[in-house]
Amino acid sequence: MENIITRDKDTETYELGKYAKSFGLSLAITNLISALLVVLKEIQEDSVLAWMKAATGHHWVTHGVLNLILFLFFGWLLARPNEGKGVTINPGFLVLSIVTSLIANVLIIAGFYAF
Amino acid sequence: MENLLLLIHPATGILAMLAAVWVFVDAFNAAEGSQGRIKTLSLFCAGLMWLTYLIAGYWYVVFYGPDKAIIKAGPWPFGHNFFMEVKEHVFLALILLATYLPIAARDIAHNKAARRLTLWVAGLIVPTSLAMEGAGAIISLAVRVGLLKSAAGG
């Protein structure tokens, strides 16, 4: 049977690209900040929630815009260290950070609205 | 118009999820020949998720108010108080996850770490998208039971 996988094991690398590392870490950071912002805006309705409503007309739109800005900012910032090669991070730890941040995001948000 | 938007956004969401499933399966045996396809499908996933966000966001901001009032006055107020609140905020994490997928999937053919990362990212998009669809179904049902209650004079 013909082997359709042309991957060459000898040329394989285990080093992620700088943007994969920087935006991956940025994703994890933004997920956590986003969940904390949910709690903050709900318990600070007169200040934080009111400002978020005033900024774009709807707090959820402002929340989405802030998330996007944070994601792009941290992604850009974390790509700069090591003479532009990006932040040093173990690929396994990056995966763990992303998975953990998503689980924490869901638990914080669901936990807040459940109780 | 609003009913059309209501129908389109879960459809684009499902298509984005199916693209993530494709990327997940393709990533297992990623090689030179599948690199382009994985790149295209991961971009497709991100694009469709953003389309879902824009359509659902427009509907939510402009048309959701009356539905929210029906749900909160009906027998299933948790349809809004829990499911909509969780859905609208967790979706913000999902959209960033989908945006990150094409970045993670770059150079997947020759990079074991990129393959592993892509598998995890695509693998997280799928159950999160399904949870969004499920929450949407519960919210729709909450509107329905609210309307039935008011029609029955409750």
DSSP string, A53-101: HHHHSSHHHHHHHHHHHHHHHHHHHTTSHHHHT-----HHHHHHHHHHH
Q: Structure tokens of B152?
A: 């029955």
The tokens for A115 are: 């109780």
Answer whether B104 sits within 8 Å of A20, measured CB to CB. Answer: yes
Q: Residue B131 is encoded by which pair of tokens?
A: 């949870």
State the pLDDT confidence band at A1, using cuts at 50, 70 and 90.
very low
Predicted pLDDT at B38: 95
Contact check, Cβ <8 Å, B106/A20: yes
User: Which pLDDT value is given to residue B6?
Assistant: 86
B22 closest CA partner among B1, B39, B3? B39
The string of pLDDT tens digits covering residues B31-57 is: 888 899 999 999 999 999 999 999 999
Q: Most B CBs within 10 Å: which of A22, A29, A108, A109, as the mutation test of the B interface?
A: A109
Nearest to A95 among B60, B89, B116 (CB): B116
List B residues 3-22 in contact with A (Cβ-Cβ < 8 A).
none
**Stretch 12-31 of chain A: residues touching chain B, C-beta under 8 Å:** 12-17, 19-20, 23-24, 27, 30-31
Kindly state whether A113 is in contact with chain B, defined as any CB-CB distance less than 8 angstroms. Answer: yes
Q: Using an 8 Å CB-CB cutoff, list chain B residues near A29.
A: none
What's the distance, CA B143 to chain centroid?
A: 20
- d(C-alpha A30, C-alpha B93), whole Å: 8
Q: What is the pLDDT of residue A27?
A: 98
Q: Is A50 on the interface with B (CB under 8 A)?
A: no
Half-sphere exposure of B141 (CA within 13 A, CB side): 10
CA distance, residue A56 to nearest chain B CA (Å): 11
Domain ranges of chain A: 17-114
Q: How confident is the model at residue B154 (pLDDT cuts 50, 70, 90)?
A: low
Calculate mean pLDDT across residues A82-94.
92
| Percent of chain B residues past pLDDT 90, beyond the cut | 82
Scored b (16 or more CB within 10 A) or e, B129-153 reads bebbeebbeebeebbeebeeeeeee
Cβ distance A17 to B107 less than 8 Å, yes or no, reads yes
Q: How far is A87 from chain B (nearest CA, A)?
A: 15
Q: What's residue A9's pLDDT?
A: 62
Token reading at B84: 């909509």
Mean pLDDT along residues B48-77 = 94
**Strand-pair partners of A13:** B111
Cβ of residue A4 closer than 8 Å to a chain B Cβ: yes
Confidence check: pLDDT of A2 > 50: no
Place of tokens 């393959």: B115
Q: How confident is the model at residue A4 (pLDDT cuts 50, 70, 90)?
A: low
Interchain pair A6, B33: CB under 8 A: yes
Q: Using CA atoms, how far apart are residues B42 and B27, in angstroms rounded to an integer? A: 11
Cβ A27–B116 below 8 Å, yes or no?
Answer: no
